[in-house]
Amino acid sequence: MAQISYFQTSRNGDGLSYEGFSYRKDRLSVRGTQLWRCIRQGCPGRVETGDLPNPIARGRGHEHLPNPDESSIRTSLTRLRDRAVAGNISIPQIYEEEANTLVSSQAASATLPVFRNVASTLYRARRRVLSPLPQTREDIVIPPSL
Ligand SMILES: [Zn+2]
C-alpha cells in the first residue's frame, strides 16, 4: 500500500493519498520541497514530497488510523469528475464503471457515495466545460470590436 495517488479536494485543491492517509497541499518547505498536511482538521500528520520516490513522514504523526478505503474513494471520485468533464459518455455510465472498478480493486469494502449524492457535482462539472447556448438575447454579448 506504499503507493501515492493524487486526487482533487472538494475545494479543487491538490490532494495526495499515501499509506492510507489523505493530505492536502500545504506550503513549500525552505528547501523547496512540497509539504502536505493531513486532510483531517487538526491532525498534525504531515508528509513531504521531493526528489524521493515516496513521501517522507514529518511531524508528530497522525492522531487516527489510516483509512485506505477513504483514499481509494477519493481517487475514484476524482477520476469520476475528470471523466465527467472530459468525455461524452453518460454520467450514470461513468459512475457505474468507476463503482465496479472500485469493487474489483483491493479495497473491497470501499464503496462510492450513492449516485444521487455525487450526480449534481458531476453534472455541474460537465456543464462548466460545455459552453452553454445563450438562453435569451441579453445573454448574447457582442464584443465592442464588432
Ligand atoms: Zn491525520
Tell me the β-bridge partners of 17: 5, 22
Q: Which pLDDT value is given to residue 69?
A: 85
Residue that has been written with the C-alpha cell 500528520 in this structure: 45
* Ligand 1 centre distance from Cα of residue 28 (Å): 19
Contacts of 9 (CB under 8 A, 6+ apart): 15, 24, 39
* Total-model pTM: 0.70
d(CA 107, CA 128): 32
Distance 1 CA to ligand 1 centre (A): 17
Ligand 1 centroid distance, CA of 67 (Å):
10
Please report the beta strands in 74-125, taking only residues with DSSP state E, as ranges in sequence order. Answer: none
Domain architecture of the chain: domains with CATH: 5-58 (2.20.25.240), 68-129 (no CATH)
Q: Using alpha carbons only, what angle is made at residue 78 by residues 60 and 119, rounded to the nearest 5 degrees?
A: 125
pLDDT tens string, the chain, 146 residues long: the values are 467 888 988 788 999 999 999 999 999 989 899 999 999 999 999 999 988 788 999 888 999 999 888 888 888 899 999 999 998 899 999 999 998 888 777 655 678 888 998 999 899 888 887 766 666 666 666 666 66
